[in-house]
Amino acid sequence: MPDLSTDTGGIRSPNPFWLASAPPTNSGGQVQRAFEAGWGGVVWKTLGTPIRNVSSRFGGHVIGGVRGAGFNNIELITDRPLEANYREIAETKRLFPDRAMVVSLMFETREEWREHIARSIDAGADGLELNFGCPHGMCERGMGSAVGQEPAVNERITSWAVEFSTVPVLVKLTPNVSDIVPHGLAARRGGAHGVSLINTIKSLIGVDIDRFVPEPRVGGASTNGGYCGAAVKPIALHMVAALAREPEFGLPISGIGGVTNWRDAVEFILLGSSSVQVCTEVMLRGFDIVEDMIDGLDEYMRTHGFARISEMVGKAVPNFREWGELDLNYETVAKIDADKCIGCQVCVAACHDGAHQCIHPQEGTRVPRVDETECVGCNLCKIVCPVEDCISMAPVEHGVAPASWNEFVADPETHPLRPKKGSHG
Amino acid sequence: MSRPISESRSETAFGDFKLPLAPGEAVAEAERCLFCHDAPCIAACPTAIDIPQFIRKIATGNLHGSARTIFESNILGMSCARVCPVEVLCVGDCVYNHLDQPPIAIGRLQRHATDEAFAQGWTYFSAGPDSGRRVALIGGGPASLAAAHRLRRCGHACTIFEARPSLGGLNTTGVAPYKMRADRAADEIDWVLAIGGIEVRTGVRVGEAVSLSDLERDFDAVFVGVGLGADSPLGIPGEDLENVCGATAWIEQMKIGRVDLAGVERAVVVGGGNTAIDCVREALGLGIPRVIMAYRGDRARMSGYAHEWDAALAEGALAEWRAIPIAYEGSGRVRKVRCIRLDEARRPIAGSEFELEADLVLVAIGQSKLAAMLAGLEGIQVEGGRVAVDAEGFAGRTKWYAGGDCVNGGKEVVNAVAEGDRAAKAIDAMLRGAAKGSPHA
């Protein structure tokens, strides 16, 4: 039976599924119910100097009828008394000693950091997460992403936290930067034991087109919020992988961003995450989704022969390359399984209007024909096809040895490229 | 226009067989549509409504545009959404039938959009600039209504001659009430006529008060959409007994007036087409406990749709296959139907006679053809009682076009609309230039 327990920079949990620092971890009652449901850890909603919140706070991005496929919020850190938070953290840790209790913190002065790191550890924190990511509200006051976007400030505050802390320190990174790597390296220089990413993406979730006011609406106005939910996963995966493959980085990662189920979690783990954090899907469906996450991961590990999470971590990282390293001579063409095709010809429209004009209707049948002499193997038809496994991308044997752009540019004689296709020339 | 539709008519006993979609349900269903390229559902629609486009507009909350897409191709799209046999048309050709998912509920989505258009009072079309041309339309059913509306958009003046007291044809008086009631059809006629410039002359039988030659003389074109005539009888003893009724006559009475079912416990419906199945379901729905359909063929050969017969069976229908009445019996009022079995070749089997008890007999074996009224017009061919036309509805004599049941022998409302619309387009082309059938050619 696979062992789902994991270690993220010294923070251990019985499974890799943590709740991210967010509304679901706002109180002891919530976190205790989450632990009863099976969550392996939580990052408690960020503690800081008391704030006030607005109404409303959340916006949903409906995509193809899926509510909350994307999501954003303009809520700030905890608005509950710090004493109540510390009391409930202590009570919850006492009730669930085997779960990871990470406390998220966001303060301004060195003295504040010192005091609240001590109080968090006193309350039972197994680790700390420094909120350098919040892209709304707090950043206007010089905290959150305002810290995360400045590597020097990031490094300085991280070094304070590491100095004051007796438990592991994770730095939560903002994606609102052009390149995540310098920010991860700053956290490393500051002495962090790991990083969490991504925090939310600066966003406007939508506009009320009758009132002419962006969402979520606060009276007659709105502000930029943090985008999250299933739709952000590709951005998060890239940033996680970018750090995971950086040779100078080398810290454990807690992956965040659009994790909705065990499949997403596996992807984050394969790209270098030791644990994953979930918020939006829990906000939309509740804590009980973790049952399938645990089940699904267990079954995945069983069928793929993984005994421990650590065996999976980063398994796909070596295959995440620069474009210039990809094999330009690898060629595929689309194959349509006529027995499975239902004749919708969605692929015809997609190929003609959106790709390379190589899928054509045929007389006497609804099954389209692929012109393999023009098909560039772009994958669009396979993406739009509503039938499982009807369109496959079949490798073409042409006898030309693999060659990347970098190799070709360096030495075209030794690394020739196959003939070009799809230019209709 | 006058509406001879009684408030206390029998059809009000029926509710919708297919329920309307709730708004959220409609959007969820619309989201499922694959937006097929060169979609098979469009090809299956006689009026070629751009179905994926109107469905996409429902998904985005653009109901106004959705209904426009429907009406652009089918001005009677509201009633067709209810009365079309979608199972054998658009829905039957939805590609989801080849996948392990139910086909898109196209009819119910079309109803969703068009009902909203009616509820909101949306109108889309206005009459074209006056062309100075006049078109006569004989018959006031769906074919003529569709033709007249298209002709008005082209700017031609229209006059509809309808022998009956009101317009609508079988769409008003013949549609099964669990699909659509008569008042809904009447609302639609008012909506169509609102384009203006369509003169309606009801109670005028062409050939009597107005002659064909009058029309040919006074109008620039004539569209013939007379539909079908009276219910055909079997020609057997007892047809004059009380409660031996022609199917469409009985249905009309049920839809716009009342049918007296006092003491009716057993009904026999004669025939195996869709009108017969409608009668069976209507008789059951009105509370007649025992309803038997007597058909000369077997189930595989009946012309009624399988999905309709399945619904009838679910409602309690009974059937006598390969049976045909040879006499209705009773004193004053029918009490029994004497039948005989037929063999594979539909020949009577000697000694196979049997009786069915019946307090009501509905004879649904077809309707008489009216096309013979045109027989005197040189150039117009009447074949098997149907007016012969070309692919554009031209009837072979200058100025003359036709469509609907009198051409196709009795099909769906949607066929009549398609044929009326195509003829109107041909008439417009003819009136604008030297096209086929032009007096100016």
Residue B437 belongs to some domain of the structure: no
- The answer on A279 and A388 residing in a single domain is no
Q: Coil, strand or helix: which one is B110?
A: helix
How many other CB atoms are there within 10 angstroms of residue B234's CB atom?
Answer: 18
* Residues of B with Cβ-Cβ distance to A344 under 8 angstroms: 34, 36-37, 39, 95
Q: Which of B35, B36, B94 to mutate to test the interface with A (most CBs of A within 10 A)?
A: B36
Contact B28/A366, CB-based, under 8 Å?
no
Q: Give the residue among B282, B343, B341 at the shortest CA–CA distance from B316.
A: B282
Longest dimension (CA), chain A: 79
Residue A423 belongs to some domain of the structure: no
- The answer on B247 and B350 residing in a single domain is yes
* Residues of A with Cβ-Cβ distance to B59 under 8 angstroms: 65
B215 to A45, B75, B332: CA distances (angstroms): 85, 26, 45
Integer Cα distance of A104 and A21 in angstroms: 7
Q: Does B241 touch chain A (CB under 8 A)?
A: no
- The answer on A389 and A267 residing in a single domain is no
CB neighbour class for B125 (10 Å; exposed up to 12, middle 13-18, buried from 19) = middle
Which of A65, A346, A387 has its CB closest to that of B35?
A346
- The answer on B95 and B43 residing in a single domain is yes
**How far apart are the CA of A55 and the nearest CA of chain B, in angstroms?**
27
Residue with tokens 């539709």: B5
Beta pairing partners, A104: A129
Q: Coil, strand or helix: which one is B321?
A: strand
Strand pairing report for B244-246 and B367-369: unpaired
Q: Does B41 touch chain A (CB under 8 A)?
A: no
The residue range of the domain holding B83 is: 19-120
Beta pairing partners, A7: A12
* Catalytic pick among A134, A139, A279, A375: A134
Show the tokens assigned to B276: 């017969």
* Residues of B with Cβ-Cβ distance to A64 under 8 angstroms: 31
- The answer on A197 and A115 residing in a single domain is yes
CB B420 within 8 A of CB B142: yes
- The answer on B384 and B356 residing in a single domain is no
Contact A344/B31, CB-based, under 8 Å?
no
Integer Cα distance of A332 and B19 in angstroms: 48
- The answer on A298 and A393 residing in a single domain is no
Residue B125 belongs to some domain of the structure: no
DSSP E strands: which ranges in B30-155? 134-138
Integer Cα distance of A414 and A363 in angstroms: 45
Residue with tokens 């499949």: A263
Residue B128 belongs to some domain of the structure: no
Q: Which residue has the higher pLDDT, B66 or A421?
A: B66
Q: Does A69 touch chain B (CB under 8 A)?
A: no
Contact A346/B37, CB-based, under 8 Å?
yes
Show the tokens assigned to A366: 């609804």
Question: Using alpha carbons only, how large is chain A's radius of gyration in Å?
Answer: 24
Integer Cα distance of A382 and B370 in angstroms: 55
Integer Cα distance of B286 and B284 in angstroms: 5
How many other CB atoms are there within 10 angstroms of residue B240's CB atom?
Answer: 9
Q: Does B355 touch chain A (CB under 8 A)?
A: no
* DSSP states of B246-270: EHHHHHHHHHHS----TT--EEEEE
Q: Does B19 touch chain A (CB under 8 A)?
A: no
- The answer on B360 and B250 residing in a single domain is yes
pLDDT for res B435 = 52
Among B120, B153, B185, the domain boundary falls at B120
Q: Residue A184 belongs to a domain with what CATH number?
A: 3.20.20.70
Contact B36/A65, CB-based, under 8 Å?
no
Q: Coil, strand or helix: which one is B115?
A: helix
Which of B28, B31, B99 has its CB closest to that of A386?
B99
The domain tally of chain A equals 2
> CA A312 from chain center: how many Å?
17
Element (H, E) at A361: strand A359-362
- The answer on B215 and B308 residing in a single domain is no
Integer Cα distance of B343 and B19 in angstroms: 41
Residue with tokens 């772009």: A378
Tell me the pLDDT of chain B averaged across its residues: 95
CB B326 within 8 A of CB B340: yes
Q: Does A343 touch chain B (CB under 8 A)?
A: yes
CB B106 within 8 A of CB B91: yes
Q: Residue B80 belongs to a domain with what CATH number?
A: 1.10.1060.10
- The answer on B79 and B171 residing in a single domain is no
A122 to A32, A84, A85, A87, A103: CA distances (angstroms): 19, 14, 12, 10, 11
Contact A342/B98, CB-based, under 8 Å?
yes
Q: Which residue of B has its CA nearest to A390?
A: B99
- The answer on B148 and B115 residing in a single domain is no
CB neighbour class for B262 (10 Å; exposed up to 12, middle 13-18, buried from 19) = exposed
Q: Which residue of A has its CA nearest to B29?
A: A65
Q: Does A310 touch chain B (CB under 8 A)?
A: no
Among A295, A319, A343, the domain boundary falls at A319
Among B366, B382, B408, the domain boundary falls at B366
* Residues of A with Cβ-Cβ distance to B99 under 8 angstroms: 342, 386-387
Strand pairing report for B228-231 and A332-336: unpaired
* Residues of B with Cβ-Cβ distance to A65 under 8 angstroms: 27-28, 31, 59
- The answer on A343 and A276 residing in a single domain is no
- The answer on B155 and B248 residing in a single domain is no
CB B116 within 8 A of CB B63: yes
Q: Residue B205 belongs to a domain with what CATH number?
A: 3.50.50.60
Side-chain-side CA neighbours of A232 within 13 Å: the count stands at: 32
Q: Does A367 touch chain B (CB under 8 A)?
A: no
Contact B96/A349, CB-based, under 8 Å?
no
* Residues of A with Cβ-Cβ distance to B38 under 8 angstroms: 345, 348, 361
Q: Identify the band that residue B3 occupies on the pLDDT scale cut at 50, 70 and 90.
A: low
- The contacts of residue A363 (CB under 8 Å, 6+ apart) are none
* Residues of A with Cβ-Cβ distance to B36 under 8 angstroms: 343-346
The residue range of the domain holding A368 is: 326-410
- The answer on A264 and A121 residing in a single domain is yes
Show the tokens assigned to B250: 């009985």
Q: Determine the Cα angle at A325 with ends A320 and A328, to 5°.
A: 115
Among B318, B337, B366, the domain boundary falls at B366
Residue A422 belongs to some domain of the structure: no
Integer Cα distance of A189 and A150 in angstroms: 13
A83 to A89, A112, B343, B390: CA distances (angstroms): 10, 15, 93, 88
What order do you get walking across the sheet with A225-228 strand by strand?
Answer: A58-63, A66-73, A225-228, A201-203
- Say yes or no to pLDDT of B344 above 80: yes
| Dihedral sign computed on CA atoms, order A222, A226, A229, A234 | positive
Q: Which residue of B has its CA nearest to A384?
A: B34
Tens-digit pLDDT profile for residues B129-168: 999 999 999 999 999 999 999 999 999 999 999 999 999 9
A381 is an active site residue: no
Angle between helical axes of B106-120 and B51-59 (0-180°, round to 10): 60
Q: For chains A and B, count residue pairs whose Cβ atoms are closer than 8 Å.
A: 36
Integer Cα distance of A266 and A292 in angstroms: 13
Integer Cα distance of B403 and B383 in angstroms: 14
- The contacts of residue B410 (CB under 8 Å, 6+ apart) are B228, B366, B367
Q: Identify the band that residue B10 occupies on the pLDDT scale cut at 50, 70 and 90.
A: very high
- Say yes or no to pLDDT of B1 above 70: no
Q: Identify the band that residue B2 occupies on the pLDDT scale cut at 50, 70 and 90.
A: very low
Which of B27, B59, B95 has its CB closest to that of A342?
B95
The domain tally of chain B equals 3
- The answer on B113 and B86 residing in a single domain is yes
Per-residue pLDDT of chain A (425 residues; tens, 9 = 90+): 899 999 999 999 999 999 999 999 999 999 999 999 999 999 999 999 989 999 999 999 998 888 889 999 999 999 999 999 999 999 999 999 999 999 999 999 999 999 999 999 999 999 999 999 888 888 888 888 888 899 999 999 999 999 999 999 999 999 999 999 999 999 999 999 999 999 999 999 999 999 999 999 999 999 999 999 999 999 999 999 999 999 999 999 999 999 999 999 999 999 999 999 999 999 999 999 999 999 999 999 999 999 999 999 999 999 999 999 999 999 999 999 999 999 999 999 999 999 999 999 999 999 999 999 999 999 999 999 999 999 999 999 999 999 999 999 999 999 999 998 877 66
Residue B3 belongs to some domain of the structure: no
Integer Cα distance of A132 and B183 in angstroms: 67
- The answer on A397 and A315 residing in a single domain is no
Q: Which residue of A has its CA nearest to B36?
A: A344
* Residues of B with Cβ-Cβ distance to A342 under 8 angstroms: 95-96, 98-99
Q: Does B36 touch chain A (CB under 8 A)?
A: yes
Q: Residue A361 belongs to a domain with what CATH number?
A: 3.30.70.20
- Say yes or no to pLDDT of B441 above 60: no
ipTM of the complex: 0.85
Q: Identify the band that residue B433 occupies on the pLDDT scale cut at 50, 70 and 90.
A: confident
Q: Which of A67, A344, A347 to mutate to test the interface with B (most CBs of B within 10 A)?
A: A344
Element (H, E) at B216: helix B212-218
Among A319, A346, A371, the domain boundary falls at A319
pTM of the model: 0.91
- The answer on B337 and B239 residing in a single domain is yes
Integer Cα distance of B57 and A111 in angstroms: 59
pLDDT for res B440 = 46
Q: Coil, strand or helix: which one is B288?
A: coil
- The answer on A103 and A193 residing in a single domain is yes
Q: Does A349 touch chain B (CB under 8 A)?
A: yes
Residue A419 belongs to some domain of the structure: no
Is the bond preceding residue A198 a cis peptide, omega within 30 degrees?
Answer: yes
Q: Does B43 touch chain A (CB under 8 A)?
A: no
Beta pairing partners, A169: A128
* Residues of A with Cβ-Cβ distance to B96 under 8 angstroms: 342
- The answer on A385 and A281 residing in a single domain is no
* DSSP states of B396-417: SSTTEEE-SHHHHSS--HHHHH
Contact A65/B34, CB-based, under 8 Å?
no
Among A276, A301, A319, the domain boundary falls at A319
